[in-house]
A and B are shown apart, each in its own frame.
Chain A
């Protein structure tokens, strides 16, 4: 079974600075998808960015980018020019490209943004 580990329970960043959230996963599959989700307090989970394992190029979405290291099974999220609205729980998630459709989530990282 796949597992996803987020080793940083909490992170803080100064507004306008850059922060990197870590995620590692364990799988024996070669084809899969990786995601970062944001969950603001008392609000619904929102997809931030996704990465297909077969693509070598790291995904980017505006201020959000990933560092995908397939051999190391690492998938970190970089947030540039942090804003107060970025404060939330961030979850890394894995999804097999084969049989089985569920997302496997990490335990989450709480990001605090200091003004």
Chain B
């Protein structure tokens, strides 16, 4: 197991386009999280899955954002009609239980031009 994998590592898109990111968590981890991190700031929570169920969503997750985790395995985060303010690092993490910290992926850096 190579840890949490995120693809792509970098994405440059034009304003108004849709983008989709993928996260493959550690296989035995049933919890999966998406965070957004802007330059020089701490990560901000976006959404959380336990198995295939999306249990929590932040108010940061506007209706242009949607996340899925089919079959409780990998997850995708889609941003529709991207805006320049969406430019950030999107981090995925997974965990096995509440008592443990997360294992983070390397992130997908999105630049909207």
Contacts and interface: CB of A to CB of B under 8 A. Distances in A.
For B33, B41, B101, the residue with the greatest tally of chain A CB atoms inside 10 Å of its CB is B101
Interface stretch (B12-20, B64-72, B104-112): B104-112
A23 to B, nearest CB: 11
Interface residues of A, number: 24
B98 A97 contact: yes
Interface in B79-111: 91, 93, 98-107
Given A44-B104, A45-B104, A101 B98 contact: yes
Contacts of A45: 43, 91, 93, 104
Interface string B3-33: 0100000000000000000000000000101
B48 interface: yes
A91 B42 contact: yes
Contacts of B98: 33, 95, 97, 101
Interface of B: 4, 31, 33, 35, 40-45, 48, 50, 55-56, 58, 91, 93, 98-107
